[in-house]
Amino acid sequence: MTEVDPELLIHSDAEDLAFSVAGRLITAIADAQSTGGIAQVVLTGGRVAAKVYEAVAGSPAKVEVDWQRVEFWWGDERFLPPGDPERNETQARDAFLSALDVDPARVHPMAADTGQGAEAAATAYGEDLAAAGSPAFDVLLLGVGPDGHVASLFPGYPQIAVTDAAAVAVHDSPKPPPTRISLTLPQLNNAREVWFVVSGEDKAEAVAKALAGNDIPAAQPKGQNRTLWLLDQAAAQQVS
């Protein structure tokens, strides 16, 4: 398959970025459903993601989507107790899932820390994906860390090289909390469209490096049909 060059769209600020991405996401989901299928969406976490989800919940255009026919997955998760406000699942539920008419059976959070261990939780998530037919995701949302990490795949960590599992446990994360679960790179690449949604000056260097093809995790995920970098001006300031 011929690799498609990434597309770069720059917005004035984080608020403008969030509203634009929200509208784009609603349209993409409606398009994915237009042939009668189930839309497959991978959610991310972080400050701008929360703004996107809130904008989706508040958008009049959300009625264009049959939310009962959307399958929600996560790219990574902080391995914390159920309902912890730092969990990506909690953030998404509070910001928009609780306000939409979703099918609970189609919402697939990564397991919380209830004592079973992160390795078992990662294996279980891979089994969830397999039970769903290992779907190709329609849209996969990603943030980027200042160090160039995506999901919970960090520079120099062995998990970036794992190809024989759908999800992995990550220990001793360089940013808290120390234990996480992440989709592996092959799973991140199992998406028709990959959208990097990034805001803030602290991400500018990592964004520039990723777009220049440097050897950092953020340079590696690619959509099968489209790779979008959706940035605010602060995050884009070092892009040549």
Provide CB contacts within 8 A for 99, sequence distance 6+.
57
3-state secondary structure of 42: strand
* Contact (CB, 8 A) for 138 and 32: yes
Judge whether residue 1 has pLDDT over 90: no
CA 4 distance to own-chain centroid: 20
Q: What is the mean pLDDT of residues 131-159?
A: 97
The full set of domains in the chain, from first to last, is 7-236 (3.40.50.1360)
Average pLDDT over residues 138-165: 98
Please provide the size of the chain in residues.
240
3-state helix, strand, coil in the chain (%, to 5): 40, 20, 40
Give the sheet arrangement for strand 167-170, strand by strand.
76-78, 180-183, 167-170
Nearest Cα residue to 95 out of 113, 111, 114, 72: 72
The yes-or-no verdict on residue 120 having pLDDT over 90 is yes
Q: Could you give the dihedral angle defined by the CA atoms of residues 61, 20, 101 and 138, in that order, rounded to the nearest 10 degrees?
A: 110
pLDDT (tens digit, 9 = 90+) per residue, 30-55? 999 999 999 999 999 999 999 999 99
Percent of the chain past pLDDT 70, that is, above it, reads: 99
